[in-house]
Structure 1
Amino acid sequence: MLSLFGLDRLFRLIIRKLMYLWVRVQVLPHDLKLLGIDPDKPICYVLQNRLLSNVLVLDTETRRLGLPRPMRSMRQHGLRERYSLLFLTREQRNPLARPPHAHSPRLVSLVDAVHADPTLDVQLVPVTILWGRSPEKESSWLKVLFADSWATPTALKQLITILLHGRQTMLKINPPLSLRQLSSETESSERTLRKVSRVLRVHFRRQRSAAIGPDMSHRRTLLDEIMRSEPVEAAIAREVMERGVSREVAESRARLYGNEIASDYSYPVIRFLEIFLTWLWTRLYNGVTVHNMEVIEKHATDHEIIYVPCHRSHIDYLLLSYVIFTRGYMTPHIAAGANLNMPVVGGLLRRGGAFFLRRTFKDNFLYGAVFNEYLHQMLSRGFPIEYFVEGGRSRTGRLLSSKLGMINMTLRSYLRDHNRPLVFIPAYIGYEKLMEGGTYIGELQGKPKEKENLFSLAMSVRKLQKVFGKVHLSFGEPIYLNDVLDAGMPGWRGDAGAAERPEFTATSLALGSRISTGINASAVVNPINLLSLVLLSTPKHAIDEDQLAEQLELNKALLAAVPYSALVQVTDLDGHAMIAYGEELKILQRRKHPLGDLLYLHEEEGVLMTYFRNNTLHLFVLPSLLAVLLLQRGSATREQALHMVRSVYPFLKSELFLIWSDDQLPDVVDAYLEAMAGLGLLGIDGERYVRPGSSSEAYARLHILSRALRQTLVRYHMTITVLNQRGSGRLTQQQLEELCHLLAQRLSFVREFSAPEFFDKTLFRGFLDTLKGLGFLCTTDDGHLVFDERLSALADEALEVLPSGIRQAIQQVTLITDEEVAAALLAMEQAAAKRKGKGG
């Protein structure tokens, strides 16, 4: 009757106006072009539930976005439908009425029309509408009743849900499903209907799970299940037997560990953090840019996701969860160090999804069993997980080698239960200024690491007035665990003892390397990365303004000519715009001069800028190495250049997680040589590449490019020189690391390598590990390093690419007597013991 007099439209208009006085809707995706809707084909929206509120929200938002509206008729292509909308389920008002999951009459009509007309196709566009995103939880009857859950709500429940969650409404429009593709000429209409309904039900379930997450058990219930699990029961029995305690004590200890570890996810806390972080980002940063979000959208509904970002700052925890939540997906549960489990802050992080782990627990098998079981329960229930494979924040801006603890536990859990495919998604996080920058430099210079505490956190509030530029988050190429296991452990699916196979360790190492390589392959090159790369390659970190702009443009041109990977993003600012941006962030200083302004870095700022250079140094490694070679030799054939690259590449690949295999090097070297020649950095004389004249601008540009890698090559050569001078079997690796650290400090002072990361022990350790992996070094039973003449040959090759002045400085600084070496090492041991004593 309402429809007859047109009152239905008036009724909907009034309800819509009243509802939108309160309701606020977030529409996803932000870029509607990603949906791929064909405007020339009929469109029918699909909602899961028949609710007026959902219809009004969909109709309002599609009108605002300029999309076809659901309340319009479908009168084209022979269709005679009143609305462009259908429902999978509807409220069950009458228990004698048809079941709520019976086929929609409109869907029946559309399927019949498609079967009748072979040229007709209808786009079914599923739309997910969530009134708040609080997962169901056993502990709260109110949430179970009024959270947007899996059940079809009653009208009363929906009204209360709108009142409670209307300001956090999310509407997600999904890519269309082709009714033609879902149909088959040989199938009956009834069979097609069942197939379409099944596909849509699965789709809605997965979309809701990706946004809300699985139903959440009460924390106490989850811990009870962990305590009853077979691995934890076995660990408790072992604790009783080996520690000589009663079973009650062992169980109490295990439960204490569980409470120490487990998160306590709270949707109100997530909402509070969303509001707070929205304010914080606008206060601290000029914006947060997100790249390759489609990687998440592709996998969130049907894969167990493990996010594996690089770790640059404490902001990383908050940033990734914030981006994922505001893009319509459930925040991951984050593995956080126990050092962050501070009063107040620890509780807030725990309710935001953090679970805590100790730095090491290899000697505490009971704690290990509880933690492993907790992680397994989270993975098997379908919760997204996030952890940092580096184990800690990078103090140098380079990726750290993967720590395999969390990777090993993930592999063991998956081998135990792999019902749902698991994917690792690397994530690159790039900053333009760091809140912790000064602290990092102090630690590299030898100051003890600052322990996180409430006072230091409160003091950081002073920095809220500062501008920290933009933050860049880029998701990398997904790594499918099934593929990794198939390659490294064939037959793992049918092997109950696969986790104990000898290939397990190699597979874990390979996975860790792939994750690190994937992070670097999704790098975002911001203006500060490029400014730091150029300025730190100039004497006294100063350069003419026009020359700086030209060098910045040159580096961008190199990245465009030989793309490192399809996922790398590069700033679209030109050279002069980058300079202006650096001045805006108060990183660059300007000195006026009649012959042209000079741009420079203060000494302290120069040290901090090494961090940002190192973020993207891997993108310039090969052209910088080729520049070094050509500057030293004057000219080289393609074969000579390739030979030089091959001699150094294994160490660079290990340190910087480069993507190219040995088989790819010839093509990559050719591409860089051609690009450098095309940009005027090199000349071509027959089959030889020739450096430009020493008085030319091209020579100056090539020289600046070469210096990006100089410190790395110096560090390699110095390590090998010290080994050769001391002799085989004379030093342990720890002694050599300490000695190289001391010598690098001296060389840094006399040769202007004013960057603490130049003498970072971690880099020496990584280089030595690579030497051992390649067979140049071996370790005796008593821990001493032994080698043969091949190491000397390697030293001679490395020596060729260094300028004579630096070669001489290395020789001088490494010529020390055995007595001086012994005294230096003793002093280092005493200092370390003293620091340890204070820490205890």
Structure 2
Amino acid sequence: MAKWFGIERLLSATSRKALNTWVEPQITPDNAADLGLNPEQPVIYVLQSPSFSNLLVTDEAAQRLKLPRPVHALDSHLLQEKQSYFFLTQETSAQSLQKNRFEYPERFVRLVEAVKTNANLDVQLVPVTIFWGRSPDKEDSLFKIIFSDSWATPNTLKQLVTVALNGNQTFVKFGLPLSVRNLMGHDMSSSLALRKISRVLRVHFRRQREMAIGPDLSHRRNLMHSILQSNAVREAIAVESKEQQMTPELLEEKARAYVNEIAADYSYQVIRGLQITLNWLWNRLYDGINVHHFDTVTDVAQDHEVVYVPCHRSHIDYLLLSYVIFTRGLMPPHIAAGANLNIPVIGPILRRGGAFFLKRSFKGDQLYAAVFTEYLHLITTKGFPIEYFIEGGRSRTGRLLPPKAGMLAMTVKSFIRDNTRPIVFIPTYIGYERLMEGSTYIGELRGASKEQESIWQVLQTTRKIEKIFGKVHLSFGEPIYLEPLLDAENPQWRDTVIDSQVKLPWLNRSVDKLARQINTHINQAAVINPITLLSLVLLSTPNHAIDEDVLVQQLDLYKKIANQLPYSHLIEMTELNGADIISYGVQLKAIQRVKHPLGDLICVADNQAVFLTYFRNNILHLFVLPSLVACLMQHNGQLQREQISAVINSLYPYLKSELFLSWEQSDIEPLVNQHINILLATGILHEQEGQIASPNPNTEHYVQLTILGEAVKETIERYYMTIALLTRRGSGTSSQKQLEDLCSLLAQRLSVLHEFNSPEFFDKAIFRNFIDTLKKVGLLRADEQDIVHFDHSLMQMADQANLVLKVETQHTIQQITSVSDEEITKAMELLARKEKKRKS
């Protein structure tokens, strides 16, 4: 340490100015209070290895945060030091590091001795990690090895070049303070204390590097060899060799080709290039990217294998999430992408950005399944963060799609094989205010064939970069830890041997529970933005138009409900008031103002009604309970609290399944009463003689009640139509698939008759989910031929429609479901021909 003596003298104004002119560090945390330092105890900074540039940057960062400076003397009555830092390792070469592993810096030794000697003294060690650019240490890239931070400790020349080239990509991260006294305990000797504290610090620095640049990639040389020599792949080769009469050598080449087809090829140059490109694109395309609750990620990333599981709304999702993660100092995840995206030009860029590709189905290809499973197992056990969309595809309706658990199941099985590194899932909500794919989605929902991704499609999308798409919101939900979930299902899961031929019911239950929990946590992190609020109100009005003053009142009502009785503590709400929300919607051309002498009117802009259903569906789950209360009150006039709770309780299992709601059944009655109380406080409802009553129909409060209740009516109509069709057809007459198809066809007719602008009203997946839930609660059962059966209990549920739906609506639904067997047969034949044509 003698060569560092007098470092204060070296920090001349000239050298500091030169460094500060070039280096623009991003500092984490950006508030010194977040470190929780004790002002009564001295602070010592710990850097991993000797580096003059790292010390200068640390000193500058400490000044910015108004922390004690590392180059200043430490002078207290119990401890005096010439500087307030030390380097954990004293040499830079790998051999010297190993040789001097148990040789400690003199200042470190003195600190430990001082704390041991003085009972009133403690020292706060603040580890500081600095990244000059970030890149995994790829053995095939000399450029990265020389110019970017990696696992190799840089020599002086490399550090100079690194500072010169990556000064504007510098991250300084202050770790939480470590108490020397707490770490060394009461009776520990100085030598053991030094060893323990040193080990804690080494682990901290290693984990920080893993979080930022990923694990050491020296294993990449052997990646293909490891996969090809794994037991699962060797067994698959042996089986296919017998079945297909192919030599093992040919099948091994086939497996090798699969690895190349699947595996990501992470490139720091591409990541940096994408970052620069996306900086430009986001500024041209969006008014900003708002990130919420990212601290939940940084809190768990250090000690866990992180699996990001976002909702899937747009192709932009891939780029957006990785961009946000990378710019906040963490390694971007390896992303599971459909093989349909592995197209010329775009595919190689995505692959070097961390994408790995998979087929939509592994059915019938045991070798491919084995290779992919081994690849996924390898990258998760090596500590790479990964990302995939459990919905299976992009939502065309704005709702969360029912999860497809294939990737989840593979991840869980991989963890059971090797659970040395705990896994945490990070549900992530992504919310837009306009969608680039909007017109494509609407066409597909109306029956158009899904477009195949192509270069031409991408080029067409780039024409839109001059348009305004508002803001984008990323909100990170509550983490889900895999280990406790498995413990709850099967405490002996660690003894399980995974065998593809053996079905494990508890494992299937665990995966299903995990999948639904992820979707539920995504919805708990929703963002209420101006466009979603406008959509919720305007689509509930006749002709999608409303007086501006009434719209302001309604918007403020929704904000009041969400603020006073929040769906979860993670929900984010726009700070704009009702009037500003309207101005914002006009600016984005989602709505338009119609001037009128008696007061301006606000209506949905031309051809925007169908688009707005997408954004309404983003937040429909947040207002489903108050909407049900309003719907019941508007239709019945007076009801007792118990009646309202009873109806909503009976509907809740279906709503929970469809909208991935987070409440338990036992929560519903108190929640309903709380929502009633809010509506009573606002004057929209009133209470008389022990009953809840709706306001006079000629009042503004009645208009507000009606609008609030409309949001949920389409959902209830869809339920009633399904039950009406079942009861009219009779038990044991239809298979579930026939029932789903027929419900979708009849919903299309009802949509035309009612002039709904909601293509998701006849989405077959929603009917499938409702029918599945009817089976789960015991109102339906399916036999071995998948024919559905029911009894009088289903009729009792249909009777409750009288409390929710108007008589005219019920009659319309009864009439539209009165179809003959002949009509049904013709419709089913037509659907079968369309399906056959689509597949061909």
**TM-score band, normalised by shorter chain:** over 0.9
Amino acid at match of 2:643: Q
Amino acid at match of 2:214: G
* Residues 1:92 and 1:48: Cα distance change in structure 2 (over 3 Å): closer
Task: Give 1:645's match in structure 2, choosing from 648, 658, 671.
Answer: 648
Shift of 1:467: 0.8
Amino acid at match of 2:50: R
CA distance in 1, matches of 2:741, 2:60: 67
Amino acid at match of 2:640: T
Worse-matched range after superposition: 46-55 or 632-641: 632-641
Residue matched to 2:259: 258
Output aligned runs, 1:57-68, within 5 Å: 57-68=57-68
Shift of 1:43: 1.9
Amino acid at match of 1:589: Q
Is contact 1:138-1:218 (8 Å) kept? no
Worse-matched range after superposition: 339-348 or 177-186: 177-186
Residue deviations 1:606-657, cap 9 Å, x none?
Answer: 1100000000100001111111112222222222122101111010000000
Worse-matched range after superposition: 17-26 or 802-811: 17-26
* Residues 1:815 and 1:49: Cα distance change in structure 2 (over 3 Å): same
Worse-matched range after superposition: 735-744 or 368-377: 735-744
Residue matched to 1:735: 738
CA distance in 1, matches of 2:29, 2:273: 23
Residue matched to 1:613: 616
Residue matched to 1:36: 36
Worse-matched range after superposition: 278-287 or 116-125: 116-125
CA distance in 2, matches of 1:814, 1:362: 38
Task: Give 2:521's match in structure 1, choosing from 514, 518, 528.
Answer: 518
CA distance in 2, matches of 1:142, 1:830: 57
Residue deviations 1:395-429, cap 9 Å, x none?
Answer: 00000011010011011111111001111110000
Output aligned runs, 1:113-128, within 5 Å: 113-128=114-129
* Residues 1:197 and 1:95: Cα distance change in structure 2 (over 3 Å): closer
Amino acid at match of 2:661: L
Residue matched to 1:701: 704
Query: In the alignment, does 2:823 pair up with 1:809?
Result: no
Residue deviations 1:6-53, cap 9 Å, x none?
Answer: 896356444333444543322223444432234444222111112111
Worse-matched range after superposition: 470-479 or 18-27: 18-27
Shift of 1:569: 1.0
Shift of 1:219: 5.1
Residue matched to 2:566: 563
Residue matched to 1:383: 384
* Residues 1:457 and 1:497: Cα distance change in structure 2 (over 3 Å): closer
Output aligned runs, 1:190-589, within 5 Å: 190-217=191-218, 221-497=222-498, 500-589=503-592
Is contact 1:91-1:153 (8 Å) kept? no
Shift of 1:254: 1.1
* Residues 1:706 and 1:159: Cα distance change in structure 2 (over 3 Å): same
Output aligned runs, 1:712-751, within 5 Å: 712-751=715-754
Worse-matched range after superposition: 192-201 or 761-770: 192-201
Amino acid at match of 2:694: R
- What SS is found at the alignment partner of 2:69? coil
Shift of 1:734: 2.1
Is contact 2:333-2:384 (8 Å) kept? yes
Is contact 1:427-1:474 (8 Å) kept? yes
CA distance in 2, matches of 1:500, 1:748: 43
CA distance in 1, matches of 2:225, 2:186: 53
CA distance in 2, matches of 1:612, 1:217: 45
Residue deviations 1:199-234, cap 9 Å, x none?
Answer: 111111111111111111475631121001111000
* Residues 1:509 and 1:11: Cα distance change in structure 2 (over 3 Å): closer
* Residues 1:581 and 1:151: Cα distance change in structure 2 (over 3 Å): same
Amino acid at match of 1:672: H
Amino acid at match of 2:486: L
Residue matched to 2:9: 9
* Residues 1:696 and 1:819: Cα distance change in structure 2 (over 3 Å): same
Residue matched to 1:70: 70
Shift of 1:497: 4.8
Task: Give 2:657's match in structure 1, choosing from 654, 657, 660.
Answer: 654
TM-score (norm 2): 0.96
CA distance in 2, matches of 1:191, 1:524: 50
- What SS is found at the alignment partner of 2:89? strand
CA distance in 1, matches of 2:99, 2:614: 66
CA distance in 2, matches of 1:92, 1:748: 71
Query: In the alignment, does 2:99 pair up with 1:83?
Result: no
Is contact 2:432-2:472 (8 Å) kept? yes
CA distance in 2, matches of 1:4, 1:336: 50
Residue matched to 1:148: 149
Residue deviations 1:676-699, cap 9 Å, x none?
Answer: 222222212243222222222211
Is contact 2:413-2:498 (8 Å) kept? no
Shift of 1:572: 1.3
Amino acid at match of 1:177: L
Residue matched to 2:830: 827
Amino acid at match of 2:504: R
- Aligned-pair RMSD on alpha carbons? 2.3
CA distance in 1, matches of 2:147, 2:461: 39
Runs (5+) with no aligned partner, structure 1: none
Residue matched to 1:24: 24
- What SS is found at the alignment partner of 1:307? strand
Residue deviations 1:663-722, cap 9 Å, x none?
Answer: 222222222222222222221224322222222221111111100101000111011111
Amino acid at match of 1:544: D
CA distance in 2, matches of 1:280, 1:155: 37
- What SS is found at the alignment partner of 1:69? coil
Is contact 1:402-1:512 (8 Å) kept? yes
Residue deviations 1:354-384, cap 9 Å, x none?
Answer: 0000001121111100000000001111100
CA distance in 1, matches of 2:521, 2:699: 39
- What SS is found at the alignment partner of 2:126? strand
Report how many residues are paired. Answer: 837
CA distance in 1, matches of 2:373, 2:321: 24
* Residues 1:433 and 1:787: Cα distance change in structure 2 (over 3 Å): same
Shift of 1:294: 1.1
Query: In the alignment, does 2:112 pair up with 1:106?
Result: no
- What SS is found at the alignment partner of 2:356? strand
CA distance in 2, matches of 1:629, 1:641: 7
Is contact 1:72-1:82 (8 Å) kept? yes
CA distance in 2, matches of 1:534, 1:142: 55
* Residues 1:688 and 1:352: Cα distance change in structure 2 (over 3 Å): same
Worse-matched range after superposition: 731-740 or 248-257: 731-740
CA distance in 1, matches of 2:150, 2:221: 21
Percent identity, aligned pairs only? 53
Is contact 2:528-2:574 (8 Å) kept? yes
Residue deviations 1:316-360, cap 9 Å, x none?
Answer: 101111111111011100000001000010000000000000001
* Residues 1:255 and 1:721: Cα distance change in structure 2 (over 3 Å): same
CA distance in 2, matches of 1:207, 1:288: 25
Shift of 1:151: 4.2
Is contact 1:655-1:766 (8 Å) kept? yes
Shift of 1:146: 5.4
Shift of 1:116: 3.2
Amino acid at match of 1:417: D
- What SS is found at the alignment partner of 1:89? coil
* Residues 1:437 and 1:818: Cα distance change in structure 2 (over 3 Å): same
CA distance in 1, matches of 2:357, 2:99: 50
- What SS is found at the alignment partner of 1:684? strand
Worse-matched range after superposition: 144-153 or 673-682: 144-153
Amino acid at match of 1:463: K
* Residues 1:108 and 1:714: Cα distance change in structure 2 (over 3 Å): same
Amino acid at match of 1:24: E
Is contact 1:535-1:542 (8 Å) kept? yes
